[in-house]
């Protein structure tokens, strides 16, 4: 039956032959506080719309933005764009509140961050869908397929759970749905990926490099590390928090900035670089030199120096104005979401099963939250309670949900924060071997790894099937945020 409707869509599309401008930027009035009926304030939420293939009665594809400024990448390419073209659908995306130009408050002070949470963001999505249905010709009864990556994938899944009248089906790629204060698997997964792809020699370089840095700290002379890694300032060997910041900063760059986004061959290439196999006439002097050939000379080659100085990092996160480096990049906002609702801090766990040291433990992150958001009075017990409420509300690893397709990359260090096996027959899970985070959202390509081809094909089939399952159902009545 799904194939029959899909062919019908394509025939109508060929007959009408409509062609609109690709992506338009527009704004929608959204409530600042969806849960206080006495608060009538609104803000301008930015959204993108691509209606080039749209015909009346088509499907709305909603790309759910995560913790960053909105961009239009997946509104003009990728599997969902291809499906929108085939079904004559519209693709829209709403910028997450407090990111980009979608600013509900005058700044990001603690008093003003109280409206930055998943509950308000989900209510924004529900209001936005209602707005699209009411203001675009032929969209009043349109079914909605939501898709997102990372935190955006998490929100897409939760939107299906809490606002089923707004979202009919979801593709959640690399969705991190389980809240937990500390997440030690991040560092372990990061190291295991490097070690398994680059080989044990590569893993040994990292182990020896971090051990040498610790030895220099104990000996009281870190000049070689400072010079070879191009650090902006000397290491304060008498400040344990400053040392923890250094180790975490380097480990986070490896895990979040590199491994989470790397393709399989890129990791192997960097390990070749560290081992000096590309320069046999100039082999590394030692493990720190080997590590620096990748981390400092290659990966961070465009930076004059690497700044992991603790007071500089804290000062950046403490800036509340919208035009600061931290708020423009969404760093302060992302940290707030972690401290107040999500957790998922990549703790060292005493260096167990990884080489990145033991210094950045749970207390390091709790103190970070308390220092940056001083007025919030974050403590271990407060954060545990807030994160626990998130799991209690959304279900953690076991949300009551259906018509959601979860996909994860095996190389994604945060994959253990999402489901690893099917939740039910209508909430399947695929873990893609040798893939990093969100790699499956790109366009269909013959050059894709087989597992990517299979995952994309399954996503297309499921979304097509679920579109018509939803069309055959009576749409649930809209859900008020006050009732969820």
- Domains of the chain by start residue, with CATH: 2-177+396-483 (3.40.50.1820), 181-387 (1.20.120.980)
- What pLDDT, on the 0 to 100 scale, is given for residue 7? 43
Helices (H), 300-449: 310-318, 325-329, 331-337, 362-372, 380-394
Note the pLDDT tens digit of each residue in 404-445. Answer: 999 999 999 999 999 999 999 999 999 999 999 988 988 888
pLDDT band at 5 (very low <50, low <70, confident <90, very high): very low
- Across the range 26-43, mean pLDDT stands at 97
pLDDT higher than 70, residue 14: no
Q: Determine contact, residues 80/162, Cβ cutoff 8 Å.
A: no
Give the Cα separation of 463 and 467 in Å (integer): 6
Give the Cα separation of 70 and 101 in Å (integer): 9
Note the pLDDT tens digit of each residue in 262-313. Answer: 988 999 999 999 999 888 899 999 999 999 999 999 999 999 999 999 999 9
- What pLDDT, on the 0 to 100 scale, is given for residue 16? 36
- What pLDDT, on the 0 to 100 scale, is given for residue 10? 42
Q: Determine contact, residues 230/295, Cβ cutoff 8 Å.
A: no
pLDDT higher than 50, residue 6: no
pLDDT band at 22 (very low <50, low <70, confident <90, very high): confident
Mean pLDDT check: name the lowest of 155-169, 172-186, 400-414, 462-476.
462-476
pLDDT band at 350 (very low <50, low <70, confident <90, very high): confident
- Which of 78, 33, 60 shows the shortest CA–CA distance to 456? 78
Give the Cα separation of 123 and 39 in Å (integer): 15
How far lies 321's CA from each of 48, 305, 376, in Å? 25, 26, 18
What's 99-113 look like in SS3? ECCECCCCCCCHHHH
Q: Determine contact, residues 363/309, Cβ cutoff 8 Å.
A: no
Find tokens 């897409």 and name the residue: 156
- What pLDDT, on the 0 to 100 scale, is given for residue 482? 64
- Across the range 6-21, mean pLDDT stands at 40
- What pLDDT, on the 0 to 100 scale, is given for residue 484? 64
């Amino acid at each position: 039956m799904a194939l029959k409707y899909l062919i019908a869509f394509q025939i109508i599309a060929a007959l009408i032959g409509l062609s609109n401008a690709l992506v338009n930027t527009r704004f929608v009035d959204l409530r600042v506080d969806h849960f206080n009926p006495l608060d009538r304030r609104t803000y301008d939420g930015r959204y993108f719309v691509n209606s080039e293939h749209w015909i009346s009665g088509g499907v709305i594809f909603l790309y759910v933005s995560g913790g960053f400024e909105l961009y239009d990448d997946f509104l003009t390419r990728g599997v969902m764009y291809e499906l929108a073209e085939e079904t004559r659908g519209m693709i829209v995306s709403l910028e997450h509140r407090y990111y980009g130009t979608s600013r509900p408050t005058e700044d990001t002070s603690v008093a003003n961050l109280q409206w930055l949470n998943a509950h308000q963001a989900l209510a924004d999505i529900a209001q936005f869908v209602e707005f699209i249905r009411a203001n675009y010709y032929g969209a009043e009864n349109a079914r909605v397929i939501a898709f997102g990556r990372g935190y955006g994938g998490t929100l897409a899944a939760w939107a299906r759970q809490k606002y089923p009248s707004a979202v009919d089906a979801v593709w959640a790629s690399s969705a991190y749905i389980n809240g937990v204060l500390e997440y030690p698997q991040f560092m372990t997964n990061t190291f295991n990926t490097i070690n398994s792809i680059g080989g044990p020699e590569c893993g040994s370089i990292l182990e020896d490099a971090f051990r040498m840095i610790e030895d220099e700290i104990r000996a009281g002379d870190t000049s070689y590390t400072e010079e070879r890694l191009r650090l902006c300032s000397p290491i304060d060997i008498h400040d344990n928090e400053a040392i923890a910041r250094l180790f975490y900063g380097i480990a986070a760059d490896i895990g979040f900035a590199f491994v989470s986004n790397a393709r399989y061959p890129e990791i192997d290439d960097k390990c070749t670089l560290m081992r000096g196999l590309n320069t046999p006439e100039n082999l590394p002097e030692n493990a720190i030199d080997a590590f620096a050939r990748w981390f400092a000379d290659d990966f961070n080659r465009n930076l004059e120096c690497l700044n992991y100085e603790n007071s500089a990092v804290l000062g950046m996160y403490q800036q509340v104005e919208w035009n600061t480096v931290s708020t423009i990049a969404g760093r302060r906002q992302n940290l707030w979401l972690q401290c107040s609702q999500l957790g998922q801090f990549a703790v060292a766990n005493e260096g167990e099963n990884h080489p990145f040291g033991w210094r950045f433990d749970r207390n390091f992150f709790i103190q970070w939250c308390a220092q940056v958001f001083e007025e919030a009075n974050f403590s271990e017990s407060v954060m545990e309670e807030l994160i626990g409420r998130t799991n209690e509300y959304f279900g953690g690893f076991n949300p009551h949900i259906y018509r959601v397709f979860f996909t994860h990359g095996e190389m994604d260090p945060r994959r253990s924060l999402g489901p690893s096996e099917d939740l039910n027959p209508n909430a399947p899970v695929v873990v893609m071997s040798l893939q990093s985070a969100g790699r499956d959202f790109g366009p269909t390509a013959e050059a894709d790894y087989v597992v990517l081809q299979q995952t994309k094909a399954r996503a297309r089939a499921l979304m097509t099937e679920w579109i018509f399952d939803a069309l055959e159902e009576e749409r649930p009545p809209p859900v008020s945020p006050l009732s969820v």
